[in-house]
């Protein structure tokens, strides 16, 4: 066997390019990326494209775009479709040693067998009937045109490891069916290529969802069978919706692509995914290094984490409210730093800045309620001369208050409506100097 000894921590993210990655995949990528940064290790993006019929370059390019948008820069990129010769080599060795064996049952036959076992109160575990086939029976199957699938012969023994998140784990592989590694058409299922790649690429830590816990016991056995070093494993809890139900029916709308196209900031998504299900409060982080500094797999809870789109939207807003102009200036058109600082506190998404830019720059007049027309005319007479700054609003409204006896909402709301056409928005003390005296006079006409 060709083994390489790791000189540093190495993790991998192995999506299948048969579709776009969703928030669950994204969380896996982010946790592995943070672990690599925290430990000065390496992150491998490994395309699990052994299903050549369904894998496409378009999806692979989409995953690359999604990963880059999340701020992840892989140290290496690997393609499983380029490694079939290696998988064939290992499979031949396992066959020669009797560790994988040919099975001729059809899917219907296996299904009927499982149902009979369940009817008898037995666990639906494969009974290794194919190991008892005679040469004549095998020849008869092949004469029918049947081609075998290949199963790995489990040791039927306890497999134990100390999970980085779950602690001690014990699984007896005697309770499992021998896993199918190779289909009838000769193509590989996920398990064997993944193990071979982890060994050959010297992966030291595998961080993934708890739905893989049982797979891990199988993969540990295969790793040992091919003479590899077993990596450390960490299995985090799965995501549920805010209603406590699974996300499977809504996963299409929760793709990383859809989150990006909806206008969310990448660091809001990264902050949410990294802190979700941990002992830390979920809060916006403008820099990945803040997350790296606080990263610890031990903080991840074993209880299912709840993904709430409303919480993510609120986090996105909080992130924008604290984002400095320099960080977004290249994404803003016709927006000065003063304008950004004035309006960022009222944005949920960056695209909202266009509304406030247009409000500030508009040459339109906004409708005023009939009983406020005289009041607005009086306020116009009292408008201070330039230069204006953030004290101008108070100077002006104090004068208007003294001249009209208005106060509170009746004082401020008509002015806001006349100046912006809206009953909400940024503080007028910051907007007024940006609108300027000339436009203010026009709007108050």
DSSP classification of residue 188: B
Cβ atoms within 10 Å of 103's Cβ, excluding its own: 21
In a domain, 401, yes or no: yes
In a domain, 437, yes or no: yes
- 322, 354, 388 - which closes a domain: 322
- Residue in the block written with tokens 């086939």: 133
Write a three-state SS string for 110-121: HHHHHHHHHHCC
Question: Which residue in 358, 389, 364 sits closest to 444, CA to CA?
Answer: 364
- 269, 304, 322 - which closes a domain: 322
d(CA 149, CA 187): 9
Q: What is the pTM of this model?
A: 0.91
**Do both 318 and 367 map to the same domain?**
no
pLDDT of residue 4: 47
**Do both 318 and 366 map to the same domain?**
no
Beta bridge partners, 233, equal: 206
pLDDT of residue 7: 65
Question: Which residue in 41, 82, 37, 42 sits closest to 60, CA to CA?
Answer: 82
Task: Per residue of the chain (445 residues), give pLDDT as tens.
Answer: 444 444 689 999 999 999 999 999 999 999 999 999 999 999 999 999 999 899 999 999 999 999 999 999 999 999 999 999 999 999 999 999 999 999 999 999 999 999 999 999 889 999 999 999 999 999 999 999 999 999 999 999 999 999 999 999 999 999 999 999 999 999 999 999 999 999 999 999 999 999 999 999 999 999 999 999 999 999 999 898 887 777 765 556 689 999 999 999 999 999 999 999 999 999 999 999 999 999 999 999 999 989 999 999 999 999 999 999 999 999 999 999 999 999 999 999 999 999 999 999 988 888 888 889 999 999 999 999 999 999 999 999 999 999 999 999 999 999 999 999 999 999 999 999 999 999 999 999 8
pLDDT of residue 365: 86
CATH at residue 426? 1.10.10.350
* Angle of helix 392-404 versus helix 408-420 axis, rounded to 10: 120
Total domain count for the chain?
2
Question: SS3 for 395?
Answer: helix
Contacts of 299 (CB under 8 A, 6+ apart): 278, 279, 280
pLDDT of residue 180: 98
CATH at residue 52? 3.40.50.620
Contacts of 283 (CB under 8 A, 6+ apart): 271, 275, 315, 318
Q: Which two tokens stand for residue 165?
A: 């998140």
Q: Which two tokens stand for residue 395?
A: 């100077």
Range of the domain at 376: 362-443
Question: Which residue in 64, 66, 75 sits closest to 270, CA to CA?
Answer: 66
| Contact yes or no for 155/217 (Cβ under 8 A) | no
pLDDT of residue 3: 46
In a domain, 122, yes or no: no
Q: How many CA atoms lie less than 13 Å away from 254 in the CB half-sphere?
A: 23
In a domain, 433, yes or no: yes
pLDDT of residue 1: 40
Q: Which two tokens stand for residue 258?
A: 């859809």
pLDDT of residue 203: 98
In a domain, 140, yes or no: no
In a domain, 368, yes or no: yes
In a domain, 45, yes or no: yes
**Do both 242 and 316 map to the same domain?**
yes
pLDDT of residue 323: 96
- 300, 322, 344 - which closes a domain: 322
| Contact yes or no for 82/50 (Cβ under 8 A) | no
Query: E strands of 252-344, at which residues?
Result: 305-307
Question: SS3 for 372?
Answer: helix
In a domain, 91, yes or no: no
């Amino acid at each position: 066997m060709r083994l390489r000894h790791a000189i540093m921590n190495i993790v991998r993210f192995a999506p299948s390019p048969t579709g776009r990655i969703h928030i669950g995949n994204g969380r896996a990528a982010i946790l592995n990326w943070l672990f690599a940064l925290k430990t000065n290790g390496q992150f491998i993006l490994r395309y699990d494209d052994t299903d050549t019929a369904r894998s496409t370059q378009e999806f692979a390019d989409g995953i690359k775009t999604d990963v880059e948008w999340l701020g992840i820069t892989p140290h290496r990129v690997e393609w499983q479709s380029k490694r079939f010769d290696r998988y064939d080599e290992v499979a031949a060795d396992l066959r020669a040693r009797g560790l994988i064996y040919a099975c001729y049952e059809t899917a219907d036959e296996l299904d009927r067998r499982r149902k009979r076992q369940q009817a008898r109160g037995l666990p639906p575990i494969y009974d290794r009937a194919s190991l008892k086939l005679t040469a004549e029976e095998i020849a008869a199957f092949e004469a029918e045109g049947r081609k075998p699938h290949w199963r790995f012969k489990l040791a039927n023994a306890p497999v134990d490891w100390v999970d980085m998140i779950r602690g001690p784990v014990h699984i007896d592989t005697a309770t499992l069916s021998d896993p199918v590694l190779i289909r009838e058409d000769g193509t590989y299922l996920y398990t064997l290529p993944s193990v071979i790649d982890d060994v050959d690429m010297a992966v030291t830590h595998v961080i993934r969802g708890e739905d893989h816990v049982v797979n891990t016991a199988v993969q540990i056995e295969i790793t040992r069978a091919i003479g590899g070093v077993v990596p450390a494993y960490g299995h985090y809890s799965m995501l549920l919706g805010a209603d406590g139900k699974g996300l499977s029916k809504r996963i299409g709308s929760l793709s990383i692509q859809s989150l990006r196209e909806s206008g969310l900031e990448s660091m809001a998504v990264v902050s949410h995914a990294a802190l979700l299900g941990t002992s830390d409060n979920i809060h916006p982080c403008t820099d990945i290094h803040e997350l790296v500094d606080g990263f610890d797999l031990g903080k991840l809870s074993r209880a299912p984490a709840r993904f709430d789109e409303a919480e993510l939207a609120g986090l996105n807003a909080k992130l924008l409210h604290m984002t400095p102009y320099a960080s977004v200036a290249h994404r803003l058109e016709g927006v000065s730093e003063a304008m950004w600082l004035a309006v960022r506190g009222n944005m949920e998404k960056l695209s909202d800045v266009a509304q406030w830019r247009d409000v500030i720059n508009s040459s339109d007049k906004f409708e005023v309620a009939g009983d406020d027309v005289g009041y607005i005319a009086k306020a116009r007479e009292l408008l201070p001369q330039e230069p204006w700054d953030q004290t101008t609003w108070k100077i002006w409204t104090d004068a208007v208050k003294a001249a009209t006896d208005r106060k509170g909402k009746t004082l401020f709301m008509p002015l806001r409506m006349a100046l912006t056409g809206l009953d909400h928005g940024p503080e007028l003390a910051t907007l007024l100097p940006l609108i300027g005296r000339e436009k203010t006079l026009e709007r108050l006409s």
